[in-house]
Structure 1
Amino acid sequence: MTTLITAGQRLAWASVPRPSSIAVDKIAAALAMLVLGASMFAMWFGQVAGSAAPPAAGDASSQSRYAQRETVVSAYAGAPVYHRSDLKLQRPDGTDMTLKNMGWDGDSFYFPIDGGARVIRWSGAFGGMIDFLHNKAVTRLGKGAHGRKIKNGVIEDVETIGTLKGQPAPSPLHLTDLLERLEFTHGHNVLIPTALVRLVPLSPALRPYLGIGFGAAVPHVEVRFKGESPNRWTNEYQYAGPAFQVVAGIEMRIGRGSYYVEYKFIWSAIHAALTGGNSWSLKDLRSDWLPRWLIEPLAGLTEMPGDLWRQYSRWRSGTAPAEGTIETHLTSHEIVIGGGYVWPGAAPVTAGPVQP
């Protein structure tokens, strides 16, 4: 009886929108509006400044508060908090079901630590960023990333609709009755070009900024169903759909060092194929002319391009996924802390043409 009550309580808790989630959604929407508004204002200000009378040579006020073109390369670490989301599962065995309001965890500090790397090219108040973010997203099966044992692991019970192997899907469903593993732990990767705008500096060293970007989700899809043999497991990188982010941060400059704290709101679509395949790497080559000492260090770097090439080949040939598909979306809020190095440019950006 206690187990039934606990399952019911879990379902009731899962089905009710969290006030905190609603609040952060509103904050994210407000930040997106703020980014757009700041960008419009900055463009208007640039037009007004450009149409003003030419400044006198050497007049420091003629230059932008952010006067140099510069490139910043950095890395960062963070810990995402995910919203719940529905997951649609389709398989050739008669399974066509939706798991409602599933929870996701980050397992952020299990290696590799969640975070990312990025390159920013600034030109005055405006910048362009290439941002690669690696996070983990793990369903609640009582385990951590890669199936490792964790203390007090939570196993969820979720409502379902649809069919499981041709029969009405049980609802509620104890997740471990269906799955051994469903996660994106190498990871929930997104590559997002992002437009940035700097705001008025708080001091010469403290520089706030905002940004919005659109890109692609390239997760490592790891799915195992209960009782199925390893040749039916999926364990590979895939392009899964579009992604976007809104960022708001503050940067501190110390010499050539760039240090920052930043809030990220990230949404990505996940439409993944269940292929029954593993990541391809150089280790899979059977060659007498490639020495193992060369293959081993490079093997991990070849997994993502190798997997994406196989995915492209499947698309081109029209091959259907052997084990079906999963479809969901991941929405996260995250505070990241990072640091990097600044390469100043040679040409300053001025608010107007400089007299000879």
Structure 2
Amino acid sequence: MVKSLNIAVTAGFVALGLAAPASAEIELSFYGGSQSSPHSRVEGTAPGTGAPYSALIGWEGKSFSPPPYYGLRAMWWKPNNLGFGVELTHTKAYAPQSEMPAGFSRLEFTDGHNILTANVMKRWPDQWKFITPYVGAGIGLAIPHVDVFANGEKTYGYQVTGPAAKAIAGVKYDLTDRWAVFTEYQFTYSKNEAELEGGGTMSFPLITNAINVGVALNF
């Protein structure tokens, strides 16, 4: 699944490059930052027993612990400053030991609660000298790495768990004609349905609030 995800993102970046006319602009961005997730309820049937469970989880983000929180974005900007693109955000979520359902000893998405979206964005170049504000939104899929150990059953792997959406607002500062730095607020929401080894299931929404800092290359 990791290889397939990388191929899909790379293909999207290449497609943007091939589709862009000479008058358009391609922008590639990479960012890191700090992300957090509010409480959400996890429900389902327990692996091995089939017993129903429900727990309110106060997710921990641990943005800077390996593997860190990060994101990649490719945008095709048209002359009217409306942009279209793809984005992969590698968020993370850990359930505290004290809040897990009975029988669970591990419940986390540390190799990424990955959000893959198609984005639409609007920018206002050089609104304040070299500073460009922008906003955007995207819809796509949640592709988390489900890492769960419950009742002696281990689930460990990537799954496509449901729809996802995001909203973005930020500012970019031009260093040169090609390079820029930026900071932004990013909100993501996903509705997830995961399958667990041993016949278990898991259903939960996950929200992420993030402050990102990154670098952008234009060509």
1:233 counterpart SS class? strand
**Corresponding residue number in structure 2 for 1:272:** 194
- Cα separation, partners in 2 of 1:260 and 1:328, compared to 1, 3 Å: same
**Corresponding residue number in structure 2 for 1:334:** 210
Which of 3, 16, 26 is the aligned partner of 1:71?
26
Q: Does 1:108 align with 2:30?
A: no
Q: Does 1:234 align with 2:155?
A: yes
Shift of 1:177: 4.9
**Corresponding residue number in structure 1 for 2:184:** 262
Structure 1 residues 15-34: aligned runs within 5 Å: none
Structure 1 residues 12-161: aligned runs within 5 Å: 69-91=24-46, 93-99=49-55, 101-124=56-79, 125-141=81-97, 155-156=98-99
The question of whether the paired residues in 1 share the 8 Å contact of 2:125 and 2:131 is answered with: no
The letter of the residue matching 1:237 is: Y
Provide the alpha-carbon RMSD of the alignment. 1.6
**Corresponding residue number in structure 2 for 1:295:** none
- Cα separation, partners in 2 of 1:222 and 1:86, compared to 1, 3 Å: same
Q: Does 1:217 align with 2:142?
A: yes
Alpha-carbon distance between aligned partners in 1 of 2:189 and 2:126, rounded to the nearest angstrom: 29
The letter of the residue matching 2:202 is: I
Alpha-carbon distance between aligned partners in 1 of 2:50 and 2:181, rounded to the nearest angstrom: 53
The letter of the residue matching 2:128 is: S
The letter of the residue matching 1:273 is: E
Which of 193, 202, 215 is the aligned partner of 2:127?
202
Structure 1 residues 296-315: aligned runs within 5 Å: none
Shift of 1:176: 7.6
The question of whether the paired residues in 2 share the 8 Å contact of 1:72 and 1:258 is answered with: no
Q: TM-score, normalised by structure 2?
A: 0.83
Which stretch of the first structure deviates more once superposed, 182-191 or 68-77?
Answer: 68-77
**Corresponding residue number in structure 2 for 1:44:** none
The letter of the residue matching 2:82 is: F
The question of whether the paired residues in 1 share the 8 Å contact of 2:30 and 2:71 is answered with: yes
Deviations 1:20-50 (A, max 9, x none): xxxxxxxxxxxxxxxxxxxxxxxxxxxxxxx
Unmatched tracts of structure 1, length 5 or more: 1-67, 142-154, 157-174, 276-321, 344-356
Please list every run of at least 4 consecutive aligned residues from structure 1 whose deviation after the TM superposition is greater than 4 angstroms: none
Shift of 1:80: 1.3
**Corresponding residue number in structure 1 for 2:112:** 187
Higher alpha-carbon Rg = 1
Alpha-carbon distance between aligned partners in 2 of 1:94 and 1:126, rounded to the nearest angstrom: 50
Shift of 1:113: 1.3
Alpha-carbon distance between aligned partners in 2 of 1:94 and 1:218, rounded to the nearest angstrom: 25
**Sequence identity (%):** 31
Q: Report the count of equivalent residues.
A: 194
The letter of the residue matching 1:262 is: E
Higher strand share: 2
Higher helix share: 1
Deviations 1:70-102 (A, max 9, x none): 111121002211111111121462411221x31
Alpha-carbon distance between aligned partners in 2 of 1:257 and 1:112, rounded to the nearest angstrom: 26
Deviations 1:209-237 (A, max 9, x none): 111110000000000015x1xxx200000
2:24 counterpart SS class? strand
Alpha-carbon distance between aligned partners in 1 of 2:172 and 2:136, rounded to the nearest angstrom: 13
The question of whether the paired residues in 2 share the 8 Å contact of 1:126 and 1:198 is answered with: yes
Unmatched tracts of structure 2, length 5 or more: 1-22
